Amino acid sequence: MESGSVLGKGGKVMETSEILERLDNLKRVISNMVDPPFPASVPGDIEALGAAIERIKSMEGK
């Protein structure tokens, strides 16, 4: 298995870019599904997930 890849469901190798794309999609879905009133941590959790995705993307090219 190459660096920057992991085994996904069913043993399929997933590249980092595919994982990031799926995380981005998940963040978007969660953002759209959460309606007030929601736990106070939710907006921060969504923001943190987005920041983590962006940080990984920036490290991807290094």
User: How many CB atoms sit inside 10 A of residue 27's CB?
Assistant: 18
Q: Is residue 1 part of a domain?
A: no
Q: Is residue 7 part of a domain?
A: no
Q: Is residue 52 part of a domain?
A: yes
Q: Is residue 23 part of a domain?
A: yes
The helix-helix angle for 41-60 and 16-33 (nearest 10°) equals: 160
Whole-number pLDDT of residue 39: 76
Containing structural domain, residue 34: 15-60
| Count of the separate structural domains present in the chain | 1
Q: Is residue 5 part of a domain?
A: no
Cα–Cα distance for residue pair 9/12, rounded to 1 Å: 6
Stated pTM of the model: 0.58
Q: What is the pLDDT of residues 9-32, one digit of tens each?
A: 677 777 888 888 888 888 888 888
